Structure formats: C-alpha cells, structure tokens
Amino acid sequence: MAKDVPHQPMPRLEDAPLLTGRGQFFDDLPVPHGTLYAAILRSPHAHARLRAIHADAARGLAGVHSVLTGEDYAGVAAPLMVGVRLPIECWPIARHKVRYAGEPVAVVLAGDRYIAEDALDLIEVDYDPFAPVLDPVEALDADAPVLHDEMGGNLGSDRQFTYGDPGAAFDDAEHVVDISVRYPRNSCTPIETYGVLAQWEPHGQSFDITANFQGPFSIHPVIARALQVPGNRLRLRTPEDSGGSFGVKQGVFPYIALLAACARLADRPVKWVEDRLEHLTASVSSTNRAITLRAAVRGDGRITALDYDQVEDVGAYLRAPEPATLYRMHGNLCGAYDIANLSVRNRIVMTNKTPTGLNRGFGGPQIYFVLERLMQRIAAELDLDPVEVIRTNLIPTDAFPYRTASGATYDSGDYVRAFEQALKDGRYDALVARRNERRAEGRMYGIGLSVAVEPSVSNMGYLSTVLTPEERARSGPKNGAQSSATVHIDPVGTITVQLDSVPQGQGHKTVAAGIVAERFGLSPGNIKVVAALDTSKDAWSIAAGNYASRFAAASAGAVCIAADRLRDRLAWIAAAQLNVVPDDLRFEGGRIFAAGNPDAALPFARVASAAHWAPATLPELDGSPIRETAIWTAPELSAPNEADEINSSLCHGFIFDFCGVEIDPITHEAHIDRYVSMHDCGTILHEGMVEGQIRGAFAHAIGASLYEEYAYDEDGAFLAGTFADYPVPTVHEIPDLEIYHICTPSPVTPLGAKGVGEGNCMSTPVCVANAVADALRPGCGEVDLVLPLIPARIAGFLQDEPRAPEGQEKRRETGGKGLSGTGQARVDAAPQDIWDLLMDADQLAAIIPGAHGVKRLSPTRFLADVTLGVGPVKGRYRVDVALSDLDEPRSAVLTGKASGALGTGMGEGRVTLTPDDAGGTLIGYAYDASVGGKVASVGGRLLDGAAKIVIGQFFSALGRRAGDPTHRQGIFARLRARLGGAS
C-alpha cells in the first residue's frame, strides 16, 4: 500500500513566519472588544475542606468585574465526564473540598490581568486541612485518607488479564526473576502555556472557544456535556501556531469548561493565559506508577511468561482521557519480545496530586522502564550478557506481522536486523572495550541497553479495555481512529489543504504540501496548508488532534487519499480534452500531458478550475473535482474482544538504544559518554523532521532521566513551581546522539510511515538507568533505581559518600519545604525583660520582621499581619501564634499558623531564656515548620536560608529592643519618653 513520498528534503513552510515574529500563537490573536481577563485562585492545600470564600474585598477592587467560585460554575455547568464508571464528580473548580495543591478555587474576571491578579490577593479562603495521601500504594491502605467520600476508598479500577497460560509457564520456570520500580511524575512542559478565549451567545445558547488545545477531539463531547450544550453549540477553534505541547495541551480542556462557564456567567468574552507556576503545578503530567514485574525464564535467558502488577496514580480525579496512560500500551506489554504468556493486574488509584494526562511517550516510559530494567536484571541473575538476553527473546524476522499475547498486531519490523546493525554500526564492541579500560582505571563506567516497540495511531477503543467484556457489551463497541483531510481547488486552480492534526511545530504543513504538490505536479510553495482547526467548519472526528504520533501514519495518509481522488478526477477531465486515457497522464511542472506526447499539454490551473467555470463541459466523474474530504480509518483497529485482546495501536516502530555512562566520583553526576539510537519508523516522509523528532524526544528523555521531577513533599505541597526547581535541560545537558535507521514500511498506513516522535521518551530513560546500574554494579551490586538519577540518589548507593559539612546535613531527597533548625542568640537584658517583650503585642509588632501589626487575642494568642519575601515571592500573611507550656521567664512553646495569598505555613518552636553571668540572656530556640502553596513551589530552594535570615532579624531586633531601656517601660513611660525626645 506504500506510495510515493516526496524525495526532496524541502525547507519547512512554517519557518519563515516563525523566525520573523509573525507566528499566530494563541496570545498573539486579537480579542473581541469587552474581553475580560481571568486569573485563578488556587488551593495551597493538597487536601482540605473548603469552608468559606471571602471575596467581597476582591469584588470591590476597581476594575474587577466579578469573582466566581465552584458554586457559580455548578449553576450553569456540570462536572467533567469520567471514563470509568465511578461515583465521583470531577469539577474543573473545587466545590466543598480541595484535593490537590493548585486546584482552582475561584476565578477573578477583570479589565486586565494585572488587576485580576491584584484581586486574587484580596480573597480569603477558610480551609480545614486534612491529611493527604500522596503515594499510590499507600492510597490503597484501608486507613488511608479518602479523596472522594462517595467511593469509600481510593481505588478507581482493578482489572486482571490473562493471556496464554502464564500459570503453567511460571510453574515450569527454571528461574523467576522480578523487579519492582517506581516511575515518577514528569512533564515535557511546552514553552507556551495554556490559553483559552471563551464567548457565550445566549440566543443561540452556544459557545465559541479558541484554545491551544491539541486533541484528541474525543474531549470535545466531554466539554460540551460539561457545558450542557449540544455538540454543534460548542465551536472549538485552535490557533494556526501552537508553542509545543507533547501531549500536555490536551490538559487545557478543564479550563475550557471553566472559562466558558465564566464567560456565560459574566456574559462577556473571557480570556485566560496560564502562567508558568500554574502550568507546572496544575496542568498535567505523566502518571507516576508502582510496578512489579515478574518473568518466568529458562536457563538460556528465554522468557516464557511475564506477570505485571501495576498501580497507576492518576492524581486527584480520573480525568479524561485517563486511564489511557495505563491502557495505551496494553497490546504491546511484552515489548519487542516473543512472549506468549502474560498476566496483568492493573489498578488505578487517586491521590492528592494534580490529575494526570497526556505527556510524550504516554505510558511507554513506565512500561519500558520496568521491562528493560528486568531484562538487565535477568542477565545479572543468570550471569548472561545483556545483549544475549535481548537477542534470545527478540521477535524473529519471519514472524511479522506478529500478533502479541495481548492482541496487538505488530504491522512490520525486522528487529533482529535492526538490533545487529545497530551493534555493528554503533560500534558496541568498542564501547565495551572503553568500559573495560575505564573500569581498569578504577572509574565507574557502565553500559545500558534498551529495546522498545513504539506504538502510533491509537485505537480509540483501547481505553475500553479498562471495562470488563460485560460492561463493554452494555456500552457498545468503541474502535477505530478516523483521520480527516480536505483538499480544495479554487477558481484559479490553486490548492488549499485543511489538516485535522493540530500541529505544534512538527512541520505537518510542509509534509502535507509536499504530498499534495507531488501528486499534482506543482511546487510545494504553491500549496496552502491550514493547520488551524474549527469544529464548526472543518472535517474532524474524535481521533483528530496531535497525539499518539498519528500524523505521518494517519493524517498524512488522509491528505494523500484526498489528493489522489482529486487528481484522478482532474485526470479524467484532462483525458477528455487531450483524447487520451487518464492512466497515461502525467502531472508535472504545472502542466498535465500524456506520457508519450509532452508537447500537447494543458495548464494545470485550467483543468483544475474547469469545475468552477464550466461544470457542464466535464465528463461524468465519481465526485466533485473542486473539493475532496478524505476520512480514513484502518480496519485493523478493532474493538477489544471477549478475551480482552486489543490492537491498541495501528503501527509499531522499533527502537534499540545503547549508551555508555560514567559517574563522576566526586559530584556523583551521571555523564552520558556515548548514546546510540536505532530506529525503524517505516517510510520516512521527511528526513530532517524525523531527526528533529528523535532529537527532541531524546532531549525530553534526558530531562526525565537525570533532572526533572514533579516532586511533592509529604504534606502534598508541590515543590517544582519554577524552571529553577524543575530543571529542564539546556544545551549543555544534552549529550551527542548517534542515530541509525532501518526501514520496514508499514503495510497498514497509506504512506508506509509510522510514528517516530515518542520513541526515545520510552527507550532512553531506562537505557540511561541501565547504564547507571551497570556502572554501580562492581561497587554496589544490583541496585533499584528511581528517576531522575540526580547526584544525591546516586550518592546514596556509594558507601564512600563524603559526609556533609557540619550543620548542612541533607534532610530530604528531593529538596523541599520542610524546615527545621536550632540556634542561640545573646541579648543584653534580663530574662524577665525579654519575656515581657515577647508577651506584648505592640512590642512584637516592632520586633517581628515585616510586621504591620500584632493583635493580642488572649494572654496566650496573637494575630500578626506580616509581609515576608522568599526568593521571587513576597507576600502578606496572617500569622496566628499560640503560646503554651509557659514557664515564666524561662521557656515557652510557640505554635504558629500562617496563611496568605502566596501560601500557608505551620510550625512549632521552643524558646528558652537562660541568664548569663554578665546580666544578659542566652535565648535558645528550636523550630520545626512546613510551608505550602506558592512559596513552597517557587521558593523551596531558598527557604532554609530565608528562615535563618528572618529568625536572625527577629532576635537582633529583640536584642536591640531589650537592650534599650525605653522599650522596657509601660506605654505611658514610652509615650513620655517619645514626647520628651521630641521636645
């Protein structure tokens, strides 16, 4: 079925406008007059009862139009549909309870964004915090905090699958090897954040939305249902350009629902652009997952069965299209290996973290991390060469198309050839020699290998594998993946192509122009391709969008089919005029002519425009030569069957990676010395773009391997709220990459192409981890690795880790916001004088750094209004301090709670006052505190230092006050002193 593809590498049509600042990204587009700008107030708590929202002050601020809450939303809109039948309600803004730090709590609409953000600071929210649960396995405990009371627990789904006879295979196994891993949360963080412009038209009861949504458009019905309008009353438009997505911009949809409801409530257009803190905290990420994988293995390393136990953490809500991350790989759980017996247990749990969604690799990084770590573990336990273990298990060449145990059809491939060729061309032997040399020098050097099958073009039915066959029978079959493309010829014979793929920089317009130009014998520059999609005007289906690497395999195929049909019709028109048969015609150089008689040629434009100007002169055709929309799905994408077998994706590429990693003995950084990646992505449509996709995925994977994590602390505070806390690799962090290809064209896609954009996100993290494990093996034996492999984690395995300097001991693995410390200060005053100062609200107001006022609520309770700055964040807090264990004038315990627009804090400190020989006092203090909200997210790195400074300021102010006799008298004495001083 593979057809011609353009051979000329052409420059991208997208580039010139983007390079000169003429892109049409969401925030570059004009807005209607009267547009209001939204800012969103978010929960600083991971889990709390939402008691009251006090927004009068915010509403009173000049320029503020309204402040809307979850209750307002519920007046005009409904919760978001959930993919699995569960008794939970997924609101896009909190009602009654907050379940993750960063969950929307209120929306301010104002004349500009600056004022909207000012108003956020004026909203006060009363929360009753609960204990959160962050860990997916702990969330299954009977006594774990429950997120959704209606569920009675946190388990959203529990399914078991058996394919073949894994029980017998394990019974007969010579060896059983197992491994347990934790895959962390990370995200590809597009540089353009989310943006939504929503308009409501009350007479037509319809919404007009522009958002940098990326699909899948199966989400469109979810939004329409939430907004309680029929599908045709939800016009969803995407801008021509989108600043990266990598899956993540699927997650804008809850905000589409939220902002659309706001536009309806305000009866004004509403625009919102997400800021970076919001994006990192509360957009979407990959799922984190706990997986145990067991293998039944023969003595020669041949695997006869696999047994997966997966606990998937989707965060606080099961939000569409989840639990897709868990099921996307269901057909290819055995990777590139020929394994007939498989058992799987899949559990989905909810925890107090941001709901998850699409992220490049989508399910692949999790699966291959455990599978390829297991392959290395098998080699180690059986004392085999890891290369041999892979070789022994690879699907043999003559087995393609290969049907996997769980029902996928691997459409084409030659894994053995790709594997052997990569070892040879990538000079694997030299890498082994290099490792041996380095090790002989006493250095820590390791080699990692990984093999992955990269699925593309998702079957829209794979998600229904989460349902039992009986449930599926009730809800009706779901399958397929409709791709659409329209090719239009205008009255002067020029061509416009409409895509359904919503690209974010993948060059779809260039590839489509090349395909169409080739078919019509025109120059690609003459083809206009439109990427902006409008659900009211363009052809689309639920599979539309830019995900699952579907463009090359599916959308480009639809373009090709539409162009072929039009070309055939034009050939009939030209054949009638030239008196030849259509098959003899050539389309070249803007002309149409018979192969044997190029001189008798018709201008392309004249033939192409004929249907506009003189339709009656045309021969009978099978359709209009003006416009053709092709809608194509592959018949291979069938629904899951009774046995739960599912062809989860249409095509399957192949990747084999190996790399050499050296660990720095001092810093414990993992340095990637060499990295080789072999790909088979079927027919390559554009070499430069394929290389760009591979290098881009590789860069994301390096981040996931070594640097990036959406980390939470035990209270559920989000700790990665800036690009300093979530360190995305720069050019210095990306190592050299050697890329190789073989090509086995896909027999099931129109162009023979397969997806290629996600593979290294799946193969690279585990390849790097295997290399690190190999580097550590001589000194540490087998290690269990958790990504990202930051130096602190690697150091944990090395026994000779140097001790931290005194007073700088590491307390947390990932850095964070729990604080504790002790200290001492000497003050030149007696203990009783200091005690009196500490019990006097007016005195405290002068001593506490940044205090605007202190109120004494009772003899042992104070309320302070304080401005504090940490790193980039400065804000005002209400601090509620209670004193206990009073032992006048020797010691007291202070318990404090702080809250403000920028976050919350809680802490306890003990102060002791000891007289010294010189008439002064030694003040000793010890504190333990924790902070949440924005401060924890963006200032985590700086908190220790900031706390020390603030405490230091407090005691030096205390010392100054206590040492100055005028401050130790009563208020009248002070007044007298002040008046006296002034006179």
**Residue nearer to another protein on the CB measure, 195 or 750:** 195
The set of residues, in sequence order, having a beta carbon less than 8 Å from that of 603 and lying 6+ positions away, is: 493, 590, 591, 592
Q: In 3D, which of 487, 552, 756 has the Cα closest to residue 5?
A: 552
Q: Shortest approach of another protein to residue 34 CB, angstroms?
A: 16
Is residue 60 a contact point for another protein (CB under 8 A)? no
- Shortest distance in whole angstroms from residue 682 CB to another protein: 20
One of 506, 535, 541, 555 touching another protein (CB under 8 A): 506
Could you give phi then psi for residue 198, rounded to 5 degrees?
Answer: -120, 135
Tell me how many residues contact another protein (CB under 8 A).
52
Complete edge-to-edge strand list for the sheet that includes strand 670-680: 444-458, 649-663, 670-680, 738-741
Interface with another protein includes 25 (CB under 8 A)? Answer: yes
Cα(614)–Cα(636) distance, integer angstroms: 42
Using CB under 8 A as the binding rule, whether residue 723 contacts another protein is answered as yes
Tokens 């709390």, located at residue: 48
Asked if 875 touches another protein (CB under 8 A), the answer is no
Q: Is 33 in the site for another protein (CB under 8 A)?
A: no
Q: What is the rounded distance in angstroms from the CA atom of residue 316 to the CA atom of residue 90?
A: 9
CB of 957 vs another protein, minimal distance in Å:
28
CA 403 to chain centre: 31
Among 7, 33, 203, 732, binds another protein (CB under 8 A): 732
Instruction: Supply 554's token pair.
Output: 């599916």
Q: Does 157 bind another protein (CB under 8 A)?
A: no
Contact 780, 797 (CB under 8 A): yes
Q: Please write down the HEC assignment for all residues of 365-417.
A: HHHHHHHHHHHHHHHHHCCCCHHHHHHHHECCHHHCCEECCCCCEECCCCHHH
Contact call for residue 738 and another protein (CB under 8 A): no
User: Which one of 236-244, 392-400, 549-557, 853-861 is the stretch in contact with another protein (CB under 8 A)?
Assistant: 236-244
Segment interacting with another protein, rule: CB under 8 A, options 132-140, 240-248, 589-597, 939-947? 240-248
Work out which of 8, 19, 979, 981 binds another protein, going by CB under 8 A. 19
Q: How far is the CB of 938 from another protein (least distance, A)?
A: 8
3-state secondary structure 612-659: HHCHHHCCCCCCCCCEEEEEECCCCCCCCCCCCCCCCEEEEEEEEEEE
Under the criterion CB under 8 A, does residue 941 sit at the interface with another protein? no
Binding mask 162-191 for another protein (x = CB under 8 A): --------------------------xxxx
SS3 526: helix
Stretch that binds another protein, among 100-108, 586-594, 721-729, 843-851 (CB under 8 A): 721-729
CB atoms within 10 A of CB 420: 16
20 binds another protein (CB under 8 A): yes
Segment contacting another protein by CB under 8 A, of 22-30, 453-461, 712-720, 830-838: 22-30
CB 554 to another protein: min, Å: 20
Q: Is 42 in the site for another protein (CB under 8 A)?
A: no
14 binds another protein (CB under 8 A): yes
Nearer to another protein, 285 or 746 (CB): 285
Decide whether 262 or 694 has the Cβ nearer to another protein.
694
Three-state DSSP class for 97? strand
Report the distance separating Cα 942 and Cα 626, nearest Å.
Answer: 64
Among 447, 377, 449, 384, residue whose Cα is nearest residue 781: 377
Region binding another protein by CB under 8 A among candidate stretches 15-23, 68-76, 294-302, 638-646: 15-23
CB of 442 to another protein, least distance (A): 30
Angle at 941 between CA 810 and CA 661, to 5 degrees: 65
H, E, C per residue of 13-60:
CCHHHHHCCCCCCHHHCCCCCCCEEEEEEECCCCCEEEEEEECHHHHH
* 549 near another protein (CB under 8 A): no
Between 103 and 278, whose beta carbon lies closer to another protein?
A: 278
Work out whether 730 is an interface residue with another protein (CB under 8 A).
yes
Q: Are strands 873-887 and 891-900 parallel, antiparallel or unpaired?
A: antiparallel
CB-based contact 910:928 (threshold 8 Å): no
* Local structure of 670: helix, strand or coil: strand
Give the whole-angstrom CA distance, residue 118 versus residue 876: 12
Task: Give the whole-angstrom CA distance, residue 157 versus residue 580.
Answer: 64
Nearest CB to another protein, comparing residues 531 and 575: 531
| 757 in Cβ contact with 693 (< 8 Å) | yes
241 scored as a contact of another protein (CB under 8 A):
yes
Q: Is 728 in the site for another protein (CB under 8 A)?
A: yes
Q: How far apart are CA 52 and CA 900, in angstroms?
A: 15
Least CB distance from residue 106 to another protein, whole Å?
A: 21
User: Is residue 954 within the footprint of another protein (CB under 8 A)?
Assistant: no
498 touching another protein, by CB under 8 A: no
CB of residue 424 vs another protein: minimum separation in angstroms?
A: 24
In the complex, the smallest distance separating the C-beta of residue 853 from another protein, rounded to whole angstroms, is 23
Nearer to another protein, 15 or 964 (CB): 15
Instruction: Confirm or reject binding of residue 671 to another protein (CB under 8 A).
Output: no
One character per residue 893-932, x = contact with another protein (rule: CB under 8 A): ----------------------------------------
22 makes contact with another protein (CB under 8 A): yes
Comparing CB distances to another protein, the nearer of 555 and 647 is 555
Interface with another protein, residue 623, by CB under 8 A: no
C-alpha distance from residue 732 to each of 447, 661, 729, 844 (Å):
22, 16, 7, 49
Contacts (CB under 8 A) with another protein, residues 96-135: 114
Nearer to another protein, 651 or 737 (CB): 737
Q: Binding of another protein at residue 276 (CB under 8 A)?
A: yes
**18 near another protein, judged by CB under 8 A:** yes
Q: Is 23 in the site for another protein (CB under 8 A)?
A: yes
Pick one of 576, 631, 734, 942: the residue that binds another protein (CB under 8 A). Answer: 734
Q: Is 588 in the site for another protein (CB under 8 A)?
A: no
Strand (E) or helix (H) holding 738: strand 738-741
Phi first, then psi, for residue 124 (nearest 5°) are: -110, 135
Query: Which two structure tokens, joined as six digits, stand for 718?
Result: 């989000």
Query: Which is nearer to another protein, 706 or 827 (by Cβ)?
Result: 706
Nearest approach in angstroms of CB 975 to another protein is 34
Sheet holding 495-499, edge to edge: 527-530, 495-499, 483-489, 627-632
Quick one: which of 2, 27, 57, 576 contacts another protein (CB under 8 A)? 27
Taking a C-beta distance cutoff of 8 angstroms, is the pair 187, 285 a contact? yes
Closest CA to 760 of 508, 454, 457, 549: 454
CB of 209 to another protein, least distance (A): 21
Taking a C-beta distance cutoff of 8 angstroms, is the pair 953, 737 a contact?
Answer: no
Q: Cβ closer to another protein: 23 or 963? A: 23
Is 737 a binder of another protein (CB under 8 A)? yes
- Within 676-705, the residues that bind another protein by CB under 8 A are 688-689, 691-692, 695-696, 698-700
Judged by the rule CB under 8 A, the positions of this chain that interact with another protein are 11-12, 14-16, 18-23, 25, 27-28, 114, 188-193, 241-244, 246, 275-276, 504-507, 688-689, 691-692, 695-696, 698-700, 722-724, 728, 730-732, 734, 737, 872, 938
